Amino acid sequence: MTKEPLQEEEIFVDALEEIQSGETTSIVGDQNPAELKAQISQLEDQILELRISKLKDFSEYQEAKKKVSAELASNIDYGVKEIERLETKLRTINKKRLELQEQLGQSQSEKARLEIKLLNAENKDREPIAPTSN
């Protein structure tokens, strides 16, 4: 808003207060009906300008709200897709980790079995070593 509408708003508020307080009798008595009609018309124009200004402000607010809402929805959608992508990646990593742990366990069991077999072969004359579970 420029300074001019603000001043007009103050004038309008002052005039309204004068009317409500009853101070307008001296103003009405000093002016002729044509001047009063002109003032009323001017005040009506000021009221209309203020209403238009408020409607423009509200329209700008609504446009800004729509943009922010659309951006928020877009960010939420992106966030959900990113979470789903990361969950899928985590599941894949965990599955691979389990497979590797399984392979490691099998390798260690095979290695231990082979070591026992080797020890038994080296110590044929002694009592054989029985395999134990880990």
Segments forming the whole domain that contains residue 43: 3-122
- How many Å is the Cα radius of gyration of the chain? 44
Residue-wise pLDDT tens digits, 51-91: 999 999 999 999 999 999 999 999 999 999 999 999 999 99
Residue 51, domain member (yes or no):
yes
Residue 70, domain member (yes or no):
yes
What pLDDT does residue 3 have? 46
Token readout for 29 is 């008595």
Query: Secondary structure of 55-91 in the HEC alphabet?
Result: HHHHHHHHHHHHHHHHHHHHHHHHHHHHHHHHHHHHH
Residue 131, domain member (yes or no):
no
Residue 130, domain member (yes or no):
no
Residue 101, domain member (yes or no):
yes
Give the number of domains in the chain: 1
Residue 129, domain member (yes or no):
no
Arithmetic mean of pLDDT over the chain: 82
Answer whether residue 130 shows pLDDT above 70: no
Q: If we measure between CA atoms, which residue out of 51, 36, 40 comes closest to residue 5?
A: 51
